[in-house]
Structure 1
Amino acid sequence: MTTPLHSACAYRAQLLYFVADPATLEDPTEAVRYHSDGLLLVNEQGQIQACGDWAELAGSLPPDTQQVDLSGKIIMPGMIDTHLHFPQTDIIASPSSGLLPWLETYTFPTEGRFGDSEHAREVAGVFLDELLRNGTTTALVYGSVHRQSVDAFFEESHERNLRMIAGKVMMDRNCPDYLQDTAESGARDSEDLIKRWHGKGRQLYALTPRFAPTSTPEQLAACGELARAYPDVFLQTHVAENKDEIKWVSELFPNNRSYLDVYDSFGLLRPRAIYGHSIWLDEQDRARMHDTGSIAAHCPTSNLFLASGLFDFQSIRNSKVLHTLATDVGGGTSFSMLRTMNEAHKVARLNNYHLTAASMFYMATEGAARALDMQGQIGTLAPGAEADFIVMDPKATPLMARRSTMLNSLEEQLFMLALLGDDRCIQASYSAGRCVHQRDH
């Protein structure tokens, strides 16, 4: 249960959120709700009670309402990061020649320490601090193979009353012995964690087979059984990230048509299933993702850092596949969804696709909420939603302040934030109506 606030609170600022995908409308501005002088009212239960123009709502505020003037700032929904690894916090920006060497050199040795609950909780705290400092209020998070790592993460998140989704990695082959579980133990630990954490407070669970090469057919089958037994939990893994990885999968699963087909054959394509990267999919793969309601999580900074490839926005959108943005820390090089947007725009341009700023902010908020089957709950400022929101300073740096004097549209404003912004733009982050990050002035 959400701890009640002392009283309702009204915030005065510019307000911005989305009600549709701008890329699907003839007039993209109809997808946006923008109030240049707005009022956001948050009730004692940490939910949004009202959102609109200050002039229309201010006169009807309850008499004991606290009022916070943030004029000149922008309030928008907290961002949603759909793919990242908390045990990799300390190896972000580690050099490597590619994905598989990076896993062997940095990832596996680092994750070996997460059987220590105290270490796991300390890193989880740092990780959550970084998310909130960058304006991310919900994330889909990989733990390590150790169930202690996920207990530690959820304990830290639950204490802060954050809306987080996480899971224990399942990995029973092609990894160091000290990181292996078994098909039986991985399924047992995952089910125990589901029963303990899924729906406890604001915590949600995700079944997490790392990727096909590190799971036997027996483990993937066990994961499929859990997915059928618990249809409301999430599922997260990797697919079609790197050509060397794809070749490896074809050798391990010679009877499957494609990498994605491996997961499909075990019943792992479905709503609330998030597939990180999804770069090297073919037309049949994309059709299957669309038909099953599975989600492609685009990780541009990681894809560029590891030279994995360029995400094909045009084909994904032509196939109407649900797709979101993600940092993929620690292969990704920043916790900032703004910096992630920056790279996503450039990746799209390299594939001859123009990705608008409105589309990127939609993907990081309302679009992600819809893809995750959480529409109306997070990713919006609409009344009834959980009050997870951020306060953005569009003049956070001297260059941004100067550029702000020359903007002629909301698209230009958002594009400037995406291309020039980073954690300095996040003045504050709120979770369930409580301030959980305040930028040090």
Structure 2
Amino acid sequence: MDNLADDSISNKGVGLLPVIKDVLLQLLFALMPFVAYNIYYRKLTVNYSRNFIILICSLCMLLSMTFASSVQSGLIFDVRYVIMFFGILFGGFMTGAILLIEFLIYRLHIGGSGMIDAIIILIITFPLSVLLATLYHKSKHKFWIVFIAGISFSLIPLLVLYITKPDYILSHFIFNVLVMPVHNSLGIWLLVTLFNKSVSDKELYLQYIQNEKAEAVNHVAASLAHEVRNPLTTVLGFLQLIKSGTFPQEKTDRFLEISMEEIRRTEQILSEYLSISKPLVPFQQKLELTAQIRSVVELMTSYANMSNITLSADYPELPVYISGSPAELKQLLVNFIKNAIEASRDVDKGCVNIRIYEEAEQVAIEIQDNGIGMNPEQLSRLGSIYYSTKMSGTGLGLTFSYQAIRAMDGSVSVRSSPRSGTVFLITLPLAATDP
């Protein structure tokens, strides 16, 4: 602000409400960087940049000077010093220089009797802002730096104006010694404190994400090493027995058969890990769901028969269309049905039933078994890439399935209890009807 005034306290008789309105409007401009940061960077996995600070500060300064308060032609009231200090504090000296140039150009354009005073005040406050910003980053007592900045940017304009225009200061004395300092001090304190808190929270969030990624990589590496080591150890043992040449051909053939089976299992494990690492993107291919499920049921029926499990399905009478990838849909259905079959092996008259029905612009696929079920702790860990309820499982099948369902804008829920079976409910949006 260069020269400030308050009609409510002057002889012109303007009420107090316009003054409060102007102060609140300027505080809104002062807090715009904080609001914009929380809106723009809320979902981004990066923190603020210098370009963001330059852009938002330039906009705030332009708005505050455009809609500034004025009780005397050429004398305007705004939060330029708050924005200038904030820009230097979080954007560096280059940001401050850009804001300085913007201010000079726009203030010369506005003109008026307070233009020279404004330039004099800025000659004093700009280097002071640079100094205080430097001290802020080095000091442990940051609150006092912000406090000094607020008081300084309130007193310096008053002193300059008192020297150059004492009549103006005396005419609007109460406003200049009370409202303006409170406005500047409060504006700087709110903006710097709130923005700093948001930035710190964002840094903690980004650090948390990095730690989660590192932990996930560690889990995957440990799980992969464990899962691959077991079949390779088996293969190595049988190859050593075959090399000894002390076994009949029949046993040697059996050893080779087991070794090949273990190698195939290793290949399957690696394929599952690769499918997890490959990002899934939403597909828009239109699929007839019933036909897809029929083919999967036919494929899994022989596997169910080998396990003495009854596999059945209830299909809707009319075609049901969804959007997705045929390969991924087939894979996730195989994973759920295979798990249901394996969970029902140890119960009498094991059965798995699949039901498809529509509800509220969505289609539900219900996969129910009467198997061993799961306890609450097991339910809470389903979908983790390193967790499985099976002794020989990696948990990758369900992880891939959950990921594929989310890629199709779907959801999955599960109900289960020990020795009472499990129900997986997959919900997918229906495909848009062709015009």
Normalization by structure 1: what TM-score? 0.21
Structure with greater proportional helix content: 2
Normalization by structure 2: what TM-score? 0.21
Structure with greater proportional strand content: 1
